Structure 1
């Protein structure tokens, strides 16, 4: 491949990956700042609680279970009557109650059901938009699809960075400040780590 053709290909990789990464890089850069200053950003969690007794029919479906996810009847009741969606993940069962944890980005939710009385207690905590975005940054309590997105995004950033490096090499003779800036970008974080360690 001729140098001019290779240069055109690398340029194309660079601008395509930059376009694909633009929103993601802004999101991860902003949430990098908010995560770094999490203690300084005040948030008031909003907690929603529900207490309700289940019908005899639903209680009967619970009495026949010892493991696995919540019965479909309970899940359907929660979505129809209280707009609460529960996952099909396994709940924790014992002789007295069933517990289901439902962690999520930017908050948490859980429910317990007393098997004898049929009393259902549900609590949902929402810690706000910044907490939600911070959890997306970390991939905390997110879906498999989001984790795959983070992996794909990371690969795009690697291609973006390496194609940018190749372009720096190609045009370094025309821009004398190129390598001092690259070296400064590499040394500066290392110096901070070394100096702050002592």
Structure 2
């Protein structure tokens, strides 16, 4: 009778490899559990590849989490504020007398160099306003509907503030919002598969779950202390 050796998972550490080698031949009358082997194999594969896919974005959110928690870490970046006044080169009203915010906004983008998405627009006492937002950037345009004169204030923050706004998803658009959701999903998958993997590492299983329990207790204790 020929016994086929079970292939050794390269993700195991040396101690686990030795154990797996020693146990590669199941005892007589004992059949390997296919469901257990399937779960072990796929939890490892998913954990590894999900970690690789999410590597850059995980590093990004980790580093920007530090800069968010320490707002004084500007690394020498200063806020650049510029102001400008003039007269709009477009008609501010349409034929029905309503304010043509679209034409004014396109003029601001093409001629005044404004960027970002329109966050809000309004008309108060004959003065129109359009606010533009982007991560680390804001532009406020105020204009007189009758005369067409305008005042523009642009605030451009440093690269740290830009990264912090991206971390929070502030003024970053729908595509970045989807990326944040996807990143959160990857982190959940990595955490769950990491726990599942510990069930199959007999030598380290007990210490691993004790460590996880201690870590969870520390987090809960710190959260409770912060909410006092």
TM category, shorter: 0.7 to 0.9
| Cα separation, partners in 2 of 1:100 and 1:164, compared to 1, 3 Å | same
Larger Rg: 2
Residues 145-184 of structure 1: matches in 2 within 5 Å? 145-171=175-201, 173-175=202-204, 176-184=206-214
| Cα separation, partners in 2 of 1:128 and 1:21, compared to 1, 3 Å | same
- Cα distance in 2 for residues equivalent to 1:10 and 1:192: 31
Between structures 1 and 2, the one with greater helix share: 1
**Which residue in 2 is equivalent to 1:123?**
153
1:119-139 CA distance string (max 9 Å, x none): 122211111111111111111
Deviation at 1:62, TM superposition (A): 5.7
Deviation at 1:40, TM superposition (A): 5.1
| Cα separation, partners in 2 of 1:36 and 1:60, compared to 1, 3 Å | closer
- Cα distance in 1 for residues equivalent to 2:145 and 2:195: 62
Give the total of aligned pairs.
193
Partner SS, residue 113 of structure 1: strand
Q: Does 1:71 align with 2:102?
A: yes
Determine if contact 2:139/2:154 at 8 Å carries over to the other structure: yes
Determine if contact 1:70/1:90 at 8 Å carries over to the other structure: no
Q: Could you list the runs of 5+ residues in structure 1 that have no partner in the other structure?
A: none
- Cα distance in 2 for residues equivalent to 1:107 and 1:90: 14
| Cα separation, partners in 2 of 1:70 and 1:85, compared to 1, 3 Å | farther
Q: Does 1:26 align with 2:56?
A: no
| Cα separation, partners in 2 of 1:124 and 1:85, compared to 1, 3 Å | same
